[in-house]
Amino acid sequence: MQSAWSDDAASAIIAELTERYPDRCNRDVALRVYTSRLIGREPSLVLHGGGNTSVKTTLADDLGDPCEVLCVKGSGWDLAAIDVPGLPAVRLAPLQALRRLDALGDAAMVNAARTRLLDASAPNPSVEVLLHAFLPHRYIDHSHADAILSLVDQPGAAELAAAVFGARLAVVPYVMPGFALAKLAAEVAEAHPDCEGLLLLQHGLFTFGA
């Protein structure tokens, strides 16, 4: 796959979005919008708006104080057409603190994410918000790439992945999306600190960068 990145397009969207959303958008968020659209417009990576993206950055809270946040795709937004409101900002530290829990049901997880939003009117963060939060990387992409699904959805997927990718991608056994998957994925990533991404069996791909 060839990169669709354009320095000129990236610079233009930074200027456009930081002017349009001065209180909610900085360079990090603008670039996250730009790269999310690039991913969303590639049908071999996502279908019908599937997948999600995030960035960890600093925004001002309602008192004007700097706050470390996770801006993650909101429910109902299509990556191909996402805008700043489609990346709700969630307070990062209290979100990461949830990893100390032994269990957290889906309804409680949704509530926990909503109570940590900077803007209470924002859309629900992605169901995989905790997976994005528990990984330390600044930019995270989650896709359901056709080529990856053809590998991870068949018997012996872990062995096949090792043969194809070696140590570049770490394998996460299948777990339903939610709190348990977020904790397991973080543990796998920590056990493979040099990996470039995570292959989630019967699910998809997480890649990340600084």
Question: Per-residue pLDDT for 206 more than 70?
Answer: yes
CA atoms of 83 and 142, how far apart (whole Å):
17
Q: Are 196 and 169 in contact (CB under 8 A)?
A: yes
Task: Give the phi and the psi of residue 67 in degrees, each rounded to 5.
Answer: -140, 125
- Can you give the pTM of this predicted structure? 0.96
**Sheet strands (E) in the chain:** 52-60, 66-72, 89-91, 139-143, 169-172, 197-200, 204-209
Encode pLDDT of 161-187 as tens digits: 999 999 999 999 999 999 999 999 999
Predicted pLDDT of residue 48: 57
Q: Are 17 and 84 in contact (CB under 8 A)?
A: yes
Question: Per-residue pLDDT for 49 more than 60?
Answer: no
Q: Are 39 and 45 in contact (CB under 8 A)?
A: yes
Domains of the chain, by residue range, sit at 7-209
Superfamily of the domain at 7-209: Class II aldolase/adducin N-terminal domain (3.40.225.10)
Encode pLDDT of 120-151 as tens digits: 999 999 999 999 999 999 999 999 988 999 99
Spatial CB neighbours of 208, under 8 Å, sequence gap ≥ 6? 135, 137, 138, 139, 140, 141, 196, 197
Task: Give the phi and the psi of residue 121 in degrees, each rounded to 5.
Answer: -90, 0
